[in-house]
Structure 1
Amino acid sequence: MNDVVATELRKPYVTPYAEENLDLPLAFEWQAGAPRLTYRDALPQEWMFGTLWARCGTARKGKIQWHLVHTLRQRRCMLKRLCRVCGGPATDPDTGRVWWILPTSLAGDFQSPWPTAHPPTCKAHISEALTACPYLRREIPVVCTARGYSPVAVLSNLYGLDDAGRVVETSHQIPVGLNEPHLLKRALATQLIVQITDLQRAKRA
């Protein structure tokens, strides 16, 4: 993304900053007779949906990293239906429906469930999100609202052990279903994927 344009825009809530990058002291532990990915100093709250989540700082300091997504803020937006731009509610107070921008054409199919890792966007910041987000700018976006909403997967990196017993990444940024516990145990989740249903095309704000 053009840095000159980017600096004129609000710093999106889900976009990370350089000083929020943290070391990830990954290790494997045995749980119920099977290896599970962990941190050497893991805390109980670092697991959710049966998988370990990537650590992030929350200071919002340093150079903004426009092409990345802050793991914890993305997950918070997904679970609480918050706007990716401002962090406020993305639910329309008049209809109870959640505003969303999908990064690819639905080809007219609004009947099927639609999985996405992109958080919702409140009505007031749809135009700004379309301008600022490099992912949305790559394809023709669809502005819509949704009623149904449920977590179904995580975008994650998978890890294993090499011949020397070191933790190594084996797959990068792949979706792992919440119904795949054998994969969740060796996954480091970076984004929550939700399935949205009852979609309706909407006019841009």
Structure 2
Amino acid sequence: MIGPAATGTTLHGKPYVTPYAEESLDLPLAFEWAAEGPRLTYRDALPQEWMFGVLWARCGTAQEGKILWHMVHTLRQRRCMLKRLCRVCGKPATDPDTGRVCWILPSALADDFRSSWPTAHPPTCKAHVGEALTACPYLRREAPVVCTVGDYFPVGVLANLYGEDDGGRVVETRHQIAIGLDEFHLLPRALATQLIVQISDLQPAPQESRAW
């Protein structure tokens, strides 16, 4: 499964987190009995397909076919979040001089730099901020602010919830909802498509470092 993108981006090159049509896979979902009760799984599940106590959507890695500009590749989005990589190029988004991570945020989130915020938008390296600001209609609507982030950590997932119908078939019951990693009553029924992190220690990007 490939889920909707946090932003609909049409950059000159294909952003790292944007999937191709050929990367969409069928998901052989089923329920199994685990220690905590019924748990969503794949009929041919592998142990590494769970992370943070939740099952993750499968995606191919062929990078072939039509580019799905308004979607997001689950595994590459998660990799960007966990490894602090740029959503456009897939390279490190951390400034080697300061150790801070470059991020583009809607002004509504960045108004109070003392606060911390949850987001499913991966960071953007300094080299690609200008291209992202120019090409992304979502960012233009939201009066974006370029920030640096001191730290962040996983707090939740965007996910679809599943149950079983009267015939025992696995059916989707909720689509693309935010679920906290501490919502243990929901995680066993969830299929995660994007990782949500809590960013903190926000600062406006230094004017002298703005190459955009």
Aligned mate of 1:30, from 12, 28, 33:
33
TM-score under structure 1 length normalisation: 0.93
Establish whether residue 169 from structure 1 lines up as the match of residue 172 from structure 2: yes
Distance 2:58 2:86 in 1: 21
Aligned partner of 2:5 in structure 1 is: none
Equivalent in 73, 79, 82 of residue 70 of structure 1: 73
Q: Aligned pair in 2 of structure 1 residues 106, 171: CA closer, same or farther (>3 Å)?
A: same
**1:159 alignment partner, one of 159, 162, 173:** 162
The corresponding residue for 2:6 is none
Counterpart in the other structure of 2:126: 123
Over the matched positions of the two proteins, sequence identity in percent amounts to 79
Cα distance change on mapping 1:95 and 1:32 into 2, 3 Å = same
**Residue 187 (str. 1) matches residue 184 (str. 2):** no
The one-letter amino acid of 2:27's match is L
Matched, 1:87 2:79: no
- Note if contact 2:110-2:145 (Cα within 8 Å) is conserved in structure 1: no
- The amino acid of 2:162's aligned partner reads Y
C-alpha root-mean-square deviation of aligned residues, in Å? 1.5
Aligned partner of 1:108 among 108, 111, 118: 111
For structure 1, the residue ranges without an aligned partner over 5 or more in a row are none
Q: 1:108, CA displacement in angstroms?
A: 2.4
Structure 1 runs of 4+ with >4 Å offset: none
TM-score relative to the length of structure 2: 0.90
Equivalent position amino acid for 2:72 in 1: V
| Structure 2 residue 20 is the aligned partner of structure 1 residue 17 | yes
Query: Cα 1:125–1:107, aligned 2, differ >3 Å: closer, same or farther?
Result: closer
- Using the TM superposition, give the Cα deviation of residue 33 of structure 1 relative to its aligned residue in structure 2, in angstroms: 5.1
Q: Which ranges in structure 2 are unaligned for 5 or more consecutive residues?
A: 1-8
Aligned CA distance change for structure 1 residues 87 and 177 (closer, same or farther; 3 Å): same
Q: Is 2:204 the counterpart of 1:197?
A: no
